[in-house]
Structure 1
Amino acid sequence: MGGGGGGHDPFDIFQSFFGGGGSSRGRRQRRGEDVIHPLKVYLEDLYNGTSKKLSLSRSIICSKCAGLGQKSVASLKCPGCQGSGMKVSIRHLGPSMIQQMQHPCNECKGTEETINDKDRCTQCKGEKVVQEKKVLEVIVEKGMQNGQRITFPGEADEAVATHHHRDIVFALQQKEHPKFKHKGDYLFFEHNLSLVEAPCGFHFVLTHLDGRHLLIKSQPGDMDDWQTHSPQILSILPFLGVA
């Protein structure tokens, strides 16, 4: 992306917002021209809504040389690949056996041209792009679903060839909740009963995702079909975050 030089990851997004360490390059996925990042959220975040501020660095066209990487408009054909942008290497596998492989030219990085050191842009150092720091505020709206995507148009790297900004897309990934299961517009909650509570009635207080306390109760005989070995109730609550 962006031609910003080898080994540099232009999306140095803070790891804490993505649920773990490691290189963000390994987690980033490309779909067309979009740059997709997983964003881990709690079930409480989807129910109540939340916002997260993410710091990133992206590549943009150098304003001093307009993406040429040099002072003059004329460019030099790369001598390493003769302007093709590709090189062919041959590997000998055995007697009368060779393997031919094609790969981007290591001298011009596939751009098909080279820049004279004396003519190199002093701002981008011939890379054609510079790094820009930005802070994006991702708004997780109340009632959003696991897997839903939040798009920031034109906030990814700027392509040198087309000067077109790609989009950044955050895909919500809900972390497993210890009590509730979220399916569509409903919350599911399981509660184990004692052998006395099942036939004789019960009541207990359930703490909801927004901190409210709900009284769950039944009268004697309401659960005549309870299981002797594992009495259990399943409560189904509307996912009120959608309201």
Structure 2
Amino acid sequence: MADNKLYEALGVSRGASDSEIRREGGDSGFGFGPEDLFGNFFGGGGGPFGGLFGGFGGGGMRGQRRGPRKGENTIHRLKVTLEDLYNGKISKLQLSRNTVCTACGGKGGPAGALQPCRTCNGRGIKITVTQLGPGMVQQMQSRCPDCYGEGEVINERDRCQSCLGRKVTQQTKILEVHVDKGMRDEQRITFHGEGDQMPGVEPGDVIIVLQEKPHETFQRNGSDLLMKYTVSLTEALCGFSMVVKHLDGRNLCIKHPPGSVLEPGCVRGVLGEGMPMYKNPYEKGDLYIRFEIAFPENYFTTEGKLKELEKLLGGRPAPVPIPAEAEEVNMTEFEGQGPGGPRGHAYDEDDDHPHMGQHVQCAHQ
């Protein structure tokens, strides 16, 4: 019985075929907009089913949008350098957008020239209802092929000569994008109402998304700056001075005192030399420097000099006792192909046969 009432509401008989359902309710519709069929069952909107379950809380289960419909936003990516984000910058961006035609006032032609499309009844969307089973229907939506989704048609001779009946014309506009100090990668700058215009539609926004380019010296981490610097073993032990060119063009002279030993991979900080804070540019983060040590080449000096260096470095630890039956072997360089490399994997070729694949052997003396 409930199924019969549903089919009566759709305007078709229970025994109607899918093609009959589409013919009866597809093009002419049900007198309401392109909202989902079941959304109208449970919403408080218009249409023959609007208000069927309305009244809960005074407005149905789904809220209604008030005011004019808003157009889509336009998103542009703007590439900026780390210097731009540090110092601030004004970039000019040229945009091409649609504006309401001033010649016809956004009507596309003279008064009365535009007529509702008969195919979609002015909705711009064709609705096709298909029977899925007893008491179940499926609604499909597609853009009307006759009016191209506009909902209106106009004769060729009546079209506005300025916009050719499209109601809008192309306009080029220059936007000034203020990149403030301390802004971040992927931060958005919004120009409200600067998007494409359409008659009866509130223009969308133009959203500028900042895209930070990689920097050859610095890497940003929030409000801090990170960099790497390589010093020689002599500098790591005996002190040094280094000059760092900052993002605002200043040269920072950084000194490391003699006797303060730097270890490979250690990090030192310079307070207050990081990125400026967004909207508070006089406060800045810190600069962190990771030091790498460049060791001298093999056999860089004579054995006598090495003895002197050994004494300066405090000598050696006590030698480990060597058992009499110990076998002496030599180490060789593997040039980065240690454990996990191509030669290291040779030991993992067959776990069930540990003697298979052991092709690398140490040389015996």
Fold similarity call, TM over 0.5: yes
Q: Identity, % of aligned pairs?
A: 45
| Structure 1 residues 185 and 159, CA gap change in structure 2 (3 angstroms) | same
Higher RCO (Cα < 8 Å, 6 or more apart)? 1
Distance 2:204 2:233 in 1: 60
SS in 2 for 1:135: strand
| 1:65-109 superposed Cα distances (whole Å, 9 cap, x missing partner) | 2211121236323244454423479xxxxxxxxxx9642123211
* Aligned residue in 2 for 1:198: 236
| Structure 1 residues 181 and 156, CA gap change in structure 2 (3 angstroms) | same
Bigger strand fraction? 1
Distance 1:138 1:174 in 2: 15
RMSD: 2.7
The question of 1:112 aligning with 2:148 is answered no
Structure with greater Cα Rg: 2
* Aligned residue in 2 for 1:130: 169
Distance 1:235 1:107 in 2: 68
* Aligned residue in 1 for 2:248: 210
TM-score (norm 1): 0.72
Counterpart amino acid of residue 86 in structure 2 = Y
SS in 1 for 2:83: helix
The question of 1:52 aligning with 2:88 is answered no
TM-score (norm 2): 0.50
Q: CA deviation at 1:41?
A: 0.3
Q: How many residues align?
A: 200
* Aligned residue in 2 for 1:139: 178
Q: CA deviation at 1:117?
A: 1.6
CA contact (8 A) 1:43 1:177 kept: yes
CA contact (8 A) 2:113 2:158 kept: no
* Aligned residue in 2 for 1:121: 160
CA contact (8 A) 2:242 2:255 kept: yes
Counterpart amino acid of residue 238 in structure 1 = G
CA contact (8 A) 2:72 2:195 kept: no
| 1:157-202 superposed Cα distances (whole Å, 9 cap, x missing partner) | 113332x222111111111111111122221222122222112212
Distance 1:118 1:174 in 2: 51
* Aligned residue in 2 for 1:43: 82
Q: Any residues of structure 2 matched to 1:1-243 within 5 Å, and which?
A: 33-73=72-112, 75-87=114-126, 102-162=141-201, 164-223=202-261, 226-227=263-264, 233-236=267-270, 237-240=273-276, 242-243=281-282
CA contact (8 A) 2:82 2:212 kept: yes
Q: CA deviation at 1:33?
A: 4.1
Unaligned stretches of 5+ residues in structure 1: 1-31, 90-99
| 1:8-54 superposed Cα distances (whole Å, 9 cap, x missing partner) | xxxxxxxxxxxxxxxxxxxxxxxx84322111100000111111111
Unaligned stretches of 5+ residues in structure 2: 1-70, 129-138, 283-365
